[in-house]
Amino acid sequence: MDGILNVYKEKGYTSHDVIARLRGILHQKRIGHTGTLDPMAEGVLPVCLGSATKLCDFLTDKEKTYEAQAVLGVSTDTLDATGEVTARAPREAVEAVTRERLEAVLPDFTGEIVQLPPMYSAVWVDGRRLYDLARHGETVERPERHVTVRQLELTGADLPAFTLKIRCGKGTYVRSLIADIGDALGVGACLTGLVRTQSGVFGIDTCARLSEVETAMADGSVGKMILPVDLPFSDCPAARVTTDDAEKLLRNGNPLRASALSGAPKDAPLVRVYEADGRFAAVYTWKKEKNRFMPVKMFLSE
């Protein structure tokens, strides 16, 4: 099977757990996910099958949207409710935080910001995962990273509990964002719940739970759940090869002259390219200095 399954990852599962379950359900080894979700998190997890696994890195880079629940006044070692409490702010200080004060600090965490990856994360430092070090009680220096938060909206405030809508780019740690907001208010905060509602073009409304995939596999309807490999490029112009020779070049991942592609604009960042029979084959981009369309990623099944 080649294509994308928009899976609803449930609480308690790791992203790797989802892949392992799907390999058993679909009887297919070539499967990859498109962005790690912590076990306590749930929501959208696009999963790539077959030739679509070449999309994994591309989809990981896409913008994501979350609904985050958090509470003020509590700090933990994992920055979320699964960890050990490391500090509690005085009740008076927490009660002094109003909705207006909370909203006032949010612009400071919007746009390009700097984050320090949490110790309980999968980041590699000196050949070891940070979470492995943290479980042994070690704390090490880790490099800061620049991330982009495009939207940070307070959608609920029954203080000290509150809810945020977060739209952000690759590599953003929502746990760190919540903790930093709490620190800015002087009382600390930790994440209590997280739902990913959007990942690129994939939304929560079209997700399928693993139990639903299993049922569909049993009754033979699972193919209806599998989305086409070219879906993530739906906003890119489409082109087809014009000759048999051009199709042979395409199948081998060779550069193509403009005359070999019908409907391929040179000013588009990416062009999705199809064989003469309409089968999606690749994504190309125009290189002026070479006077050719050059392959970016090939998707033909092996």
pLDDT in tens, 146-169: 999 999 999 999 999 999 999 999
CA distance 76 to 264: 53
**CA geometry: angle at 237 spanning 232 and 242, to 5°?**
120
CA distance 152 to 66: 10
pLDDT of 171: 86
Task: Give pLDDT tens digits for 260-286.
Answer: 999 889 999 999 999 999 999 999 999
- Selection from 94-108, 113-127, 254-268 with the highest mean pLDDT: 94-108
One DSSP character per residue, 117-179 reads PPSSS--EETTEEHHHHHHTT-------EEEEEEEEEEEEEETTEEEEEEEE-TT--HHHHHH
Q: Which of 19-23, 85-89, 94-98, 123-127 has the lowest mean pLDDT?
A: 123-127
**CA geometry: angle at 130 spanning 125 and 133, to 5°?**
105
Q: Per the structure block, which two tokens stand in for 289?
A: 């200095």
| Domains 3-62+201-225 and 64-193 agree in fold | yes
Residue 69: pLDDT band with limits 50, 70, 90: very high
Q: What is the mean predicted confidence (pLDDT) over 120-144?
A: 61
Q: What is the mean predicted confidence (pLDDT) over 273-302?
A: 91
Residue 138: pLDDT band with limits 50, 70, 90: low
pLDDT of 125: 59
Q: Any alpha helices (H) in the chain, and if so which ranges? A: 15-26, 56-60, 91-95, 99-105, 130-135, 174-184, 210-219, 244-251
DSSP 278: S
Model confidence at 258: pLDDT above 90: yes
Instruction: Give domain 236-298's CATH number out of 1.20.1050.10, 2.30.130.10, 3.20.20.140, 3.50.50.60.
Output: 2.30.130.10
Residue entry with tokens 């209806």: 224
Residue entry with tokens 């033909």: 300
pLDDT of 145: 86
Assess whether 38 carries a catalytic annotation.
Answer: yes
Q: How confident is the prediction for the chain on average, in pLDDT?
A: 91
DSSP 235: T
What are the domain boundaries of the chain? 3-62+201-225, 64-193, 236-298
Instruction: Give domain 64-193's CATH number out of 3.20.20.80, 3.40.47.10, 3.30.530.20, 3.30.2350.10.
Output: 3.30.2350.10
Residues with Cβ < 8 Å from 262, sequence gap 6 or more? Answer: 239, 240, 241, 242
Residue among 129, 159, 148, 152 nearest 36 (CA): 129
Q: What is the mean predicted confidence (pLDDT) over 132-144?
A: 65
Question: Beta strand pairing status for 202-203 and 238-241?
Answer: unpaired
pLDDT of 116: 80
Note the CATH number of domain 3-62+201-225: 3.30.2350.10
CA distance 158 to 83: 23
pTM, entire model: 0.87
Burial grade of 284 (CB within 10 A; 0-12, 13-18, 19 or more): buried
Q: What is the mean predicted confidence (pLDDT) over 78-96?
A: 95
CA 94 from chain centre, in angstroms, equals 33
Q: Which of 2, 38, 80, 180 is catalytic?
A: 38
